[in-house]
Structure 1
Amino acid sequence: MEQDTPPTPAAEESGTRRFRAKRDAILAAAAEAINEQSAKGMTFADVARRVGLNTTSVTYYFKRKEDLAAAAFENTLDRLGEMLAEAMREPTPQARVARYLRLNMARLARIAAGEEKAFAVLSDLRATEDPIRTRLMTGWQRVFRDTRALWGPPASRAHKDLAGARAHVLLENTFWLPIWLQRYDLDQYDRVEARLMDVFAHGIAAPGAPWSPVMLDLAHDEAEPGRAAFLLAATRLINELGYRGASVQRIASELNVTKGSFYHHLDAKDELVLACYRRSFDTIAQGQARADALGGSHWQRLSSSIATLLDVQFAEAAPLLRTTALSGLPAGEREAMVDRSNRIARRYAGMMMDGVAEGSCRPVDALVAAQALTSLQNAAFDMRKWATTMPRATAIAMYASTLLYGMFDDRMAVTPPG
């Protein structure tokens, strides 16, 4: 009886390479779909179309859509871990952060040149279901700890808290970079990297600029209290669960009302998200305007605006909607919201440029620094639990200092306010 000839090692290796190449192509397509539509909006059919396969071929590699999304997220976490491991080879905290930023900028340059695909953003991580969610959150916590380790062993609990704030701001800037970097030509990427690292290393404040922000009153009467309650509940849930994870039913349940009550105030979920963004952007603009109305140095105005808006985020009562929800919006609405965000960033840039002229701010690239500040302010909602472990004034000062005084300035750990 004739027996089958076993495959040669070379044939097995070739088959393995083909399998991995196709799996990697599917993961890249899934990441692209997640970044455009969110994990819950991604479909097997769309991913298959992007790689020129049929749906059955995709299910050969990933049996369920949830498994594919989880694999895309795990790929992101692995890539972040690899960059952090390489950065840790540098001898000093500043050299490690610079190396990490350089690796990210090189990756984004390859993406812009069409040589590499973007990895999946992690905004939908918390919207996944267990047991996948637990596994992914464990991976994210590992990445966070590895990022915090760039600053070395902490000298005290306060230094550990400050390193945690720095790690969070650095990672959030990693995810915000692709949003605004596309406004620059590829040959400008090296310059952007240098200017951003200058802010990371030395901050925005001029030498001797004091930390004495004025906490601004942003309270205002709501014309429709019921609608305002929906917007705040929706903002909290979307920040926690992502656009798709925060269903209309879940938002209504949060307020102990019916879905019918929701549609009394808003016609559709996209309208809800747009309304949440408008409320958030109006709050930020109000903070900027009231800071300008204070008078005084432009450093005082900038630090007061940032401190007040961080207080809003840490208080959790009326948080700002995170930009991670943008992926769930139709393209036109998404572009309009990004444009509004850019107008807010330009106002921060104006404060800094005026501060440079009067000597209260360092001579930084104000457009680059403003985008870094936008990322810091936007992501602070995720640090509200961290903020509860210390006096609110200390949390605000520590978190703000990461960019206002730089990521290697320990003053807020040595003599924290509050």
Structure 2
Amino acid sequence: MGDARTDENTSTRRFREKREAILAAAAEAINEQSAKGMTFADVARRVGLNTTSVTYYFKRKEDLAAAAFEHTLDYLLAMLEEAATEATPAERVERLVTINMARLMRIDRGEERPIAVLSDLRAMDEPVRGPLMARWREVFRRTRALWGDGRGRAATDLAGARAHVLLENLFWLPVWLPRYEADQHLRAMERLIDVFHHGIAGSGATWAPRAVAVPHDDAVPGREAFLLAATRLINELGYRGASVQRIASELNVTKGSFYHHLDAKDDLVAACYRRSFDTIAATQQAADARGGTYWQRLSDTIAALLEVQFSERESLLRTTALSGLPAGERHLMVDRSNRIARRFAGTMMDGIAEGTMRPVDSLVASQAMMAFLNAAFDMRKWAWSMPRDRAVAYYASTLMFGMFDDRVLER
């Protein structure tokens, strides 16, 4: 009897370990190729099994992707549960960032495997999409609750912006952290927490952005509208979810019209990224050309780009589409992103020198700024629920003045 129970326990343990290994391999595949691009054959190869063995644990590829996403969401909820035990909002946020950094450092040392990024969550098909999105909304609610509950509508709106920027920065961290030596990871985390705590604004700085006309390139007739529609759909549905047919249908044109503008879907995504990065860079240039303090220039740039992200027509392409691109093209896009981030860093350094900005690590702060701008697209419905200038001010305050300065509620 005892031997039978032991055999059963051993069998259960082996099943669980093999399933966890398959989930870890699936997460790696999703992070490299997106959920739609992941294959059973690739996952099987990563764990040294044949494809049939993988289907013993997960009957369909969609089931495997959903399980990988569920694992990530469970991980995030566990992190939030631990962070919520701290006494103050600042301590809770710091605890969450610290827990996440410890996880990344374990991954870097080979002690833990990565969890699946959630880029393709919205692109999942029903019936699995509904429960996953419900879990994601729970992650967001618990993150927002780090700032406390029951403080009124305005405070809840502000906490929503802070939660969104915080989560996006946790997801963006693995993109730029490898640029640092392992012994500098804790330092980078401390500098990021400093920006979250105290923002970028110097003593006495106020939020008074001036309007900046965001440049547009209409050199090719119809191309601008095509790229705008494609950008919005890719942001909403992910790289794989936004098919060529769906983009063409959105514009009420044929697939042939698509190929009149671009040779392939990868070309489309790359063109959308170039348009987005060109928009950011041109806005930075326009703000510099107007002059003023470097705090003013940064404020003007951020406000103009948030107006783009919150508009019903325009948007900048989310980095979630990167996983669908070939590795070479993906690296080119990340390099362009880093060049734009360095320009933000330069503006911050000049602002620090003139005394209009706090002494922050501008390289870390600029990466936080890129994540903050990138994520704003997902807050459009939140922004549409209030006057636009208030939405821009609330969202901008998360990094410009820090995540715990409530004076924006009084403005």
Q: TM-score range by the shorter chain?
A: over 0.9
Could you tell me which of 191, 197, 201 is aligned with 1:201?
Answer: 197
Query: Structure 1 residues 252 and 6 mapped into 2: Cα distance closer, same or farther (>3 Å)?
Result: farther
- Give the counterpart letter for 1:170 in structure 2: L
- Give the counterpart letter for 2:273 in structure 1: Y
Does residue 130 of the first structure (1) align with residue 126 of the second (2)? yes
Shift of 1:316: 3.2
Does residue 48 of the first structure (1) align with residue 44 of the second (2)? yes
Q: 1:362-394 CA deviation, whole Å, 9 max, x = no partner?
A: 000000000000000001000000001100000
Give the corresponding residue for 2:384. 388
Give the corresponding residue for 1:367. 363
Shift of 1:16: 1.5
Could you tell me which of 187, 191, 203 is aligned with 1:191?
Answer: 187
Could you tell me which of 32, 37, 42 is aligned with 2:33?
Answer: 37
Aligned to 1:8, what secondary structure does the other structure show?
A: helix
Aligned to 2:205, what secondary structure does the other structure show?
A: coil
Could you tell me which of 286, 289, 304 is aligned with 2:285?
Answer: 289
Could you tell me which of 132, 135, 142 is aligned with 2:138?
Answer: 142
TM-score (norm 1): 0.97
Distance in 2 of aligned mates of 1:253 and 1:38: 24
Give the corresponding residue for 1:62. 58
Give the corresponding residue for 1:98. 94
Could you tell me which of 245, 256, 270 is aligned with 1:274?
Answer: 270
Does residue 151 of the first structure (1) align with residue 147 of the second (2)? yes
Q: 1:158-183 CA deviation, whole Å, 9 max, x = no partner?
A: 00000000000000001100000010
Give the corresponding residue for 1:235. 231
Q: Are the counterparts in 1 of residues 217 and 224 from structure 2 also a CA contact under 8 Å? A: no
Aligned to 2:179, what secondary structure does the other structure show?
A: coil
Distance in 2 of aligned mates of 1:413 and 1:63: 51
Distance in 1 of aligned mates of 2:379 and 2:29: 28
Give the corresponding residue for 1:79. 75
Distance in 1 of aligned mates of 2:194 and 2:2: 59
What is the Cα-based RMSD across aligned positions, in Å?
Answer: 1.0
Distance in 2 of aligned mates of 1:81 and 1:184: 28
Aligned length: 411
Distance in 2 of aligned mates of 1:330 and 1:220: 27
Could you tell me which of 317, 320, 335 is aligned with 1:324?
Answer: 320
Shift of 1:411: 1.4
Could you tell me which of 16, 26, 29 is aligned with 1:20?
Answer: 16
Q: 1:321-362 CA deviation, whole Å, 9 max, x = no partner?
A: 011111111111100000000000000000000000000000
Single out whichever of 222-231 and 321-330 deviates more from structure 2. 222-231
For 1:290-309, list aligned pairs within 5 A: 290-309=286-305
Structure 1 gap segments, 5+ residues each = none
Structure 2 gap segments, 5+ residues each = none
TM-score (norm 2): 0.98
Shift of 1:12: 2.1
- Give the counterpart letter for 1:118 in structure 2: P
